[in-house]
């Protein structure tokens, strides 16, 4: 399909602006003036819309079908939320509007803060972080501020993570200026307590943990884990990416965690738009509250206001008060369920266990437990027996009309297939997905080429990721655009994490 730039034609116009007569002329000093115009696309609106309509038809979303991308919680995105976020009172509100002209926005944010505190079982919430990974970084900054405040700033220099951790956790540790220590996983998929004990000491600032873990398993010793850290004065950070498993069932605060981030775009149904937006509010225990970002939304009598007067705050991690539109959608989602959030999580867990039950005799199950909202299988046997990888299985699923699960993650499971159905899928879809995976396992034995060359039914065949990285063509080059056609293609894809 053509790039939008390849539809361009000199002098063609899309939108037009109002023309105001008789105004002073715009005068940019010569040396600051644009020397040559940016080569933006030149096409009329009809073709513009067609181009993006065509692009959309080459894309798969939750609206298209089942999207069990593990750790990403791809649930239905209610259209009413899109309607609500488009109310002029929300979408056309300037963030510098005086508080008296933003009471509705402030109230919504305050209510969301309260809800997230209740769901997490903690005391204070900042909505500012723009995504889970920024929530992590903010959480680590809070630890830093907390220990500095206690005079332990120099001493506490290490963060412990699990070997099942999402890549954002170690990356955040580095960006926050901490050292990283990794803890192993025991045979039931819990943190290895012995390993953990050996790594936690008075230099430890804290733990970062996802629970249920990225294996989809709840850590059975979570109380012991919390004790180990708290005993040395360290803090516990909860990566809330898997909150969809436990809303109303178990709360991070009750487990002993001190800081939590919540991926609003996962548990609370923010459409992810092919990469984002998201929201990563953090919820913290009392003692960390003084350090959370400014401004904070507070209730003040009958009204609401922004509190900037927080002398021990770490400062700001993002502009203004965070991605407001995301709050509107997630608040709406939560209000649709109310205390029924528990049934939401129960159903997510039921759906996952149903898939697991139907698949575990055919694919390898590294940890034989009931799962939470997701589970991890392995294609190890397929690989050994037929040379079929998790990647091949994933590509073949496309031909059956499904988005593949997350693969090659978590790292401790070879040939991992990480499957998360979410609560909004009907049984029919789950059954069809199982049937496809079972058929694929048979095909792996009977017609392995079918898998290795998959997908067959998508707008493109398997794409060469190695060529992309080598050539690094990252923008259109107009007349000078490199012509790849004719190059030898070996559609190699990296057997690395795809998803989560």
Partner 1 sequence: MSYLSLTDRDRDEMLAAIGVSSVEEFFRDIPAGVRLQRRLELEPALSEQELTRHLEELAAKNVHTGMELSFLGAGIYDHYVPAVVDAVLQRGELLTAYTPYQPEMSQGVLQAIFEYQTAICELTGMDVSNASGYDGTTVAADACFMAKHVTGRTKVVVTEATNPQVRQVVKTYAPGFGLELVEVPHRGGTTDPDELAAAAKDAAAVIFQQPNFFGCLEPAPELAAAANEAAAIAVAHVDPVSLGVLEAPGKYGCGIAIGEGQGAGNYQSYAGPHYGFLAARNEFIRRMPGRIVGETLDAEGERGYVLTLQTREQHIRREKATSNITTNQTLLALAGLVYLSWLGPQGLRDLGETCMSLAAYAKERLELEPAFPNKTTFKEFAVRVGRNAKDAVRDARARGVNPGYVVGRDYQDLDDALLVAVTERRTPGDIDRLAEVLRA
- Which residues here bind ligand PLP, judged by CB under 6 A? 71, 131-133, 166, 168, 210, 214, 239, 241, 263, 278, 280, 500
Q: What is the CA radius of gyration of the chain?
A: 25
Kindly state the smallest distance separating residue 76's Cβ from a second copy, in Å. Answer: 4
Tell me: does residue 353 bind partner 1 (CB under 8 A).
yes
CB closer to ligand PLP, 73 vs 113: 73
- Tell me which stretch binds partner 1 (CB under 8 A): 192-200, 246-254, 374-382, 442-450: 246-254
Query: With CB cut-offs between 5 and 8 Å by kind, which of ligand PLP, a second copy, partner 1, none does residue 203 bind?
Result: none
Tell me: does residue 44 bind a second copy (CB under 8 A).
yes
- As given in the structure block, the two tokens for residue 174 are 């580095």
Residue 69 is given by DSSP the state B
- As given in the structure block, the two tokens for residue 400 are 């059956």
CB closer to a second copy, 66 vs 218: 66
Tell me: does residue 293 bind partner 1 (CB under 8 A).
yes
Kindly state the smallest distance separating residue 264's Cβ from ligand PLP, in Å. Answer: 8
Residue 237's H or E segment, with its range, is strand 235-239
- Tell me which stretch binds partner 1 (CB under 8 A): 33-41, 192-200, 202-210, 436-444: 33-41
# of chain residues touching partner 1 (CB under 8 A): 227
Tell me: does residue 472 bind partner 1 (CB under 8 A).
yes
- Tell me which stretch binds partner 1 (CB under 8 A): 29-37, 195-203, 375-383, 443-451: 29-37
Largest CA distance in the chain: 79
DSSP code string of 178-220: -EEEEE-B-TTSSB-HHHHHHH-STTEEEEEEESS-TTS---T
Query: How far is residue 456 from each of residues 36, 66, 391, 453, measured CA to CA in Å?
Result: 44, 18, 14, 7
Write 340-346 long-range contacts (CB < 8 A, 24+): 341/119, 341/247, 341/248, 342/247, 342/248, 342/249, 344/244, 344/247, 344/423, 345/244, 345/245, 345/246, 345/247, 345/248, 345/249, 345/373, 345/423, 346/249, 346/423
Residue 303 is given by DSSP the state E
Can you tell me which of 152, 186, 343, 495 binds partner 1, judged by CB under 8 A? 343
Kindly state the smallest distance separating residue 139's Cβ from ligand PLP, in Å. Answer: 11
Tell me: does residue 325 bind partner 1 (CB under 8 A).
yes
- Residues 197-236 vs partner 1: string with x where CB under 8 A? --------------------xx-xxxx-------------
Q: Are 282 and 138 in contact (CB under 8 A)?
A: yes
- Residues numbered 90 to 149 that lie near partner 1 (CB under 8 A) are 90-98, 101-105, 107-108, 115, 118-119, 121, 130-134, 136-137, 140-141, 144
Kindly state the smallest distance separating residue 321's Cβ from partner 1, in Å. Answer: 6
CB closer to ligand PLP, 294 vs 500: 500
**Nearest-CA neighbor of 430 among 356, 340, 345, 343?**
356
Tell me: does residue 104 bind a second copy (CB under 8 A).
no
- Residues numbered 257 to 286 that lie near partner 1 (CB under 8 A) are 263, 265, 271-280
Q: Tokens 């630890």: give the residue.
A: 143
**Nearest-CA neighbor of 356 among 317, 410, 405?**
405
Helices of type H across 127-176: 132-149, 168-175
| CB-nearest residue to ligand PLP | 132
- Residues numbered 46 to 75 that lie near a second copy (CB under 8 A) are 46-47, 49-50, 53-54, 57, 62-65
Tell me: does residue 455 bind partner 1 (CB under 8 A).
yes
CA distance 69 to 302: 43
Tell me: does residue 83 bind partner 1 (CB under 8 A).
yes
Query: With CB cut-offs between 5 and 8 Å by kind, which of partner 1, a second copy, ligand PLP, none does residue 241 bind?
Result: ligand PLP
**Nearest-CA neighbor of 423 among 246, 214, 253?**
246
Can you tell me which of 39, 79, 385, 481 binds a second copy, judged by CB under 8 A? 79
- Residues numbered 409 to 428 that lie near a second copy (CB under 8 A) are 424-426, 428
CA distance 199 to 183: 8
Interface positions with a second copy (CB under 8 A): 7, 9, 12, 43-47, 49-50, 53-54, 57, 62-65, 76, 78-79, 424-426, 428-429
């Amino acid at each position: 399909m053509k790039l939008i730039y390849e539809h361009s034609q000199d002098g063609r116009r899309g939108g037009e602006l109002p023309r105001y007569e008789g105004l002073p002329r715009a005068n940019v000093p010569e040396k600051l003036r644009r020397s040559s115009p940016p080569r933006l696309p030149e096409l009329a609106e009809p073709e513009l819309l067609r181009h993006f309509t065509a692009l959309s038809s080459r894309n798969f979303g939750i609206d298209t079908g089942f999207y069990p991308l593990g750790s990403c919680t791809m649930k239905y995105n209610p259209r009413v939320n899109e309607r609500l976020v488009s109310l002029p009172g929300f979408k056309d509100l300037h963030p510098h509007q005086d508080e008296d002209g933003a009471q509705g926005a402030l109230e919504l944010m305050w209510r969301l803060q309260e809800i997230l505190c209740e769901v997490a079982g903690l005391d204070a919430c900042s909505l500012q972080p723009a995504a889970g990974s920024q929530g992590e970084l903010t959480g680590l900054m809070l630890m830093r501020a907390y220990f500095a405040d206690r005079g332990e700033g120099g001493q506490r220099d290490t963060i412990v993570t699990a070997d099942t951790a999402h890549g954002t956790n170690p990356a955040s540790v580095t960006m926050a200026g901490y050292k990283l220590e990794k803890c192993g996983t025991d045979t039931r998929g819990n943190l290895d307590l012995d390993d953990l004990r050996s790594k936690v000491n008075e230099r430890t600032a804290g733990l970062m943990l996802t629970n249920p873990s990225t294996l989809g398993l709840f850590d059975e010793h979570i109380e012991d884990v919390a004790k180990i850290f708290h005993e040395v004065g360290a803090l516990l950070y909860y990566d809330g990416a898997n909150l969809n498993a436990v809303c109303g069932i178990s709360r991070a605060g009750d487990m002993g965690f001190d800081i939590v981030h919540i991926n609003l775009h996962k548990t609370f149904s923010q459409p992810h738009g092919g990469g984002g937006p998201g929201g990563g509010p953090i919820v913290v225990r009392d003692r960390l509250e003084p350090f959370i970002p400014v401004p904070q939304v507070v209730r003040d009598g009958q009204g609401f206001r922004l509190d900037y007067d927080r002398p021990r705050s770490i400062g700001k991690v993002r502009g203004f008060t965070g991605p407001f539109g995301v709050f509107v959608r997630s608040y709406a989602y939560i209000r649709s369920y109310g205390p029924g959030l528990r049934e939401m999580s129960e159903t997510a867990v039921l759906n996952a266990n149903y898939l697991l039950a139907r698949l575990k005799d055919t694919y390898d199950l590294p940890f034989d437990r009931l799962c939470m909202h997701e589970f991890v299988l392995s294609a190890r046997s397929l690989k050994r027996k037929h040379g079929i990888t998790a990647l091949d299985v994933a590509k073949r699923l496309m031909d059956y009309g499904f988005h593949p699960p997350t693969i090659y993650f978590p790292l401790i499971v070879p040939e991992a297939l990480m499957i998360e159905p979410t609560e909004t899928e009907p049984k029919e879809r789950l059954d069809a997905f199982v049937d496809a995976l079972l058929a694929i396992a048979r095909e792996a034995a009977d017609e392995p080429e079918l898998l290795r060359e998959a997908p067959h039914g998508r707008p493109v065949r398997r794409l060469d990721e190695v060529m992309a990285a080598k050539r690094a063509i990252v923008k259109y080059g107009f007349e000078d655009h490199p012509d790849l056609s004719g190059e030898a293609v070996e559609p190699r894809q990296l057997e690395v994490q795809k998803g989560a």
